[in-house]
Structure 1
């Protein structure tokens, strides 16, 4: 989402408000999935249900990587909804697993550990994938020889800098947008691979005995 918001505004030309609306499918799907996590838990068991959510998120990221090269939004909107469904299911069930594993008097501490792990994962993901995106963006950026040092520095810094400093250079901006999109697509596929690995770990590590009662919302 960190890269996708920039893609919507700097590549597709949306306003911040339009970009926020465009990201709503993921949020709505994350909320809506609460209605089916109990069914997944009773039918699949916790490990397989969490793996299903992670795998669904991976498929959504692959779809996002494909549709980010399209000129229309709808393919990306569907992919975001798929990601939201998967993330919502995996997060709800994994949080419940952590809290349920602790005695009742330690539920608050268990919830805090779960939240800390989530926040650490978000920060680590932005740091690592952000660095990868920057590397891919700069590696795929083709800068003509005749550009000035100022233009070259703006392009090499980021698409946001280039957009701000080079508004009258459409050809250079188009090249930067192409490199940025390629970087986002590549990082989306890397994230999908990481989620697929996490799904395999979930199946192997987390028990999958179907439960008779749905998880308690926390």
Structure 2
């Protein structure tokens, strides 16, 4: 069990520090991934940014994603072809659904990042961080969008996730780092002593704190770790 998200980030950072991750950029999935990513960025002396993913729900079934919008300049739209075909969505209908979700994506961008521009990952190592993953659906969408932005490599970093989810993610990226891989995952909060819901204001505060810290590139070397796939 982790004490809280910050503790999970420090433990995760220790594993990531064993690798040679040239020019890393830490991208945290809000909200829960931000405190974890802050500790990873601090340990690796890497810049920190958020990667906001907004789901576009299918008609009458908002939990089923027909597409997703990933914040960027410009934003990336990742389509779920199986759902689109199952609901017989036309290009016009899909475009309207995506348009309806854009204001919330824009609101979160302003709330979390303010006037700061998103960090470029072209030619760099993108470390994608969250506080855990059950199915890995959001993480997969984020990965697909990141691949379009020409990173040198993509590393997924999680404090806890089921083994089958990690195996699926490992097929999508260059490396996956995970501290705890329980056979029985249960709910994500079960793996933390303190797991409060975070507000937009708290996330913005953590990001502002990280932005004020001096950034120095890491010079760490290689090492093996059984927790890194």
Q: TM-score, normalised by structure 1?
A: 0.24
Higher strand fraction (1 or 2): 2
Higher helix fraction (1 or 2): 1
| Greater relative CO (CA pairs within 8 A, separation 6+) | 1
Q: TM-score, normalised by structure 2?
A: 0.23
Larger radius of gyration: 1
